[in-house]
Amino acid sequence: GEDVEQSLFLSVREGDSSVINCTYTDSSSTYLYWYKQEPGAGLQLLTYIFSNMDMKQDQRLTVLLNKKDKHLSLRIADTQTGDSAIYFCAASNDYKLSFGAGTTVTVRA
Amino acid sequence: DARVTQTPRHKVTEMGQEVTMRCQPILGHNTVFWYRQTMMQGLELLAYFRNRAPLDDSGMPKDRFSAEMPDATLATLKIQPSEPRDSAVYFCASGLGQGAEAFFGQGTRLTVV
């Protein structure tokens, strides 16, 4: 099955950019996703990228995909305290989502 | 504001009891997922439905878990009998079948004592 790995923790200063990295193993993954989970809540879909793209920008979010290295990143510009959460990378082949363990992002003043 | 609704939000039960979790997918969505989240295992896919038909329940312990969609507006996940190791947050998600894009409910936090 698909393995998705991401670092567990990231601490960033308010106003700086955050970069969360993720690697996956299945080269046939068709879609790659970023989800955000706040305490006590479900997962919120932030953005996704199709595997034939290498970049997608959506307001403060930029997703970069290096398909050759099977590396995905999420950049959050001008990080705010409301961005503190767990961020999950996920890869899919057809309907199945394989999630990483999640990166806990802490934004400090 | 369309959202996936799960009930109950919290459930504490004794070992051996039956537990039923309910999910109302977003109207018009044709795919429904059940996920389980634990600290140790992270997010695991338990079951997947498309157009109410179960297409994949390979992640579900068959002897005690069952998932159904009695109609397009209701999905259920049952555990009978429940065990302490079933304690987790259970998420329902629905989608339009575009890849695996899924919109998650708030989850049911299950504690089996």
If one counts every other C-beta atom within 10 angstroms of the C-beta of residue A80, the result is 11
* A92 to chain B: closest CA residue: B100
Residue B99 is predicted with a pLDDT of 61
Distance in Å, alpha carbon of B59 to nearest chain A alpha carbon: 11
Find tokens 């998932």 and name the residue. B67
Taking alpha carbons only, the member of B49, B41, B46 closest to residue B62 is B46
Distance in Å, alpha carbon of B17 to nearest chain A alpha carbon: 25
pLDDT in tens, chain A (109 residues): 578 999 999 999 999 999 999 999 988 888 899 999 998 888 999 999 998 999 999 999 999 999 999 999 999 999 999 999 999 999 987 777 889 999 999 999 9
Interface test with B, best of A43, A95, A96 (most B CBs within 10 A): A95
Residue B1 is predicted with a pLDDT of 67
> Quick check: A31 and A49 in contact, CB under 8 A?
yes
Helix H or strand E segment including B21: strand B19-24
The Cα B107–Cα B36 span in angstroms is 9
If one counts every other C-beta atom within 10 angstroms of the C-beta of residue A96, the result is 19
- For chain B, give the number of residues: 113
Residue A97 is predicted with a pLDDT of 82
Secondary structure class of A81 (helix, strand, coil) = helix
Taking alpha carbons only, the member of A10, A34, A15, A20 closest to residue A77 is A15
If one counts every other C-beta atom within 10 angstroms of the C-beta of residue A105, the result is 20
The Cα B112–Cα B108 span in angstroms is 12
B55, B101, B106: residue with CB nearest A41: B106
Question: What ranges make up the beta strands (E) of B14-112?
Answer: 19-24, 31-38, 42-50, 53-56, 65-71, 74-79, 88-95, 103-104, 108-112
DSSP state of B15: T
pLDDT in tens, chain B (113 residues): 689 999 999 999 999 999 999 999 999 999 999 999 998 889 999 999 999 999 888 889 889 999 999 999 999 999 999 999 999 999 999 998 766 578 999 999 999 99
Find tokens 């600290």 and name the residue. B39
CB of A53 within 8 Å of any CB in chain B?
no
* Percentage above 90 pLDDT, chain A: 76
CB of B25 within 8 Å of any CB in chain A?
no
* A89 to chain B: closest CA residue: B43
Distance in Å, alpha carbon of B2 to nearest chain A alpha carbon: 13
A97, A100, A102: residue with CB nearest B45: A97
If one counts every other C-beta atom within 10 angstroms of the C-beta of residue B71, the result is 8
> Which residues of chain B are within 8 Å of residue A40 when distances are taken between CB atoms?
106
- β-strands A96-99, A85-93 pairing: antiparallel
The Cα A50–Cα A87 span in angstroms is 19
CB of A39 within 8 Å of any CB in chain B?
no
Residue A104 is predicted with a pLDDT of 97
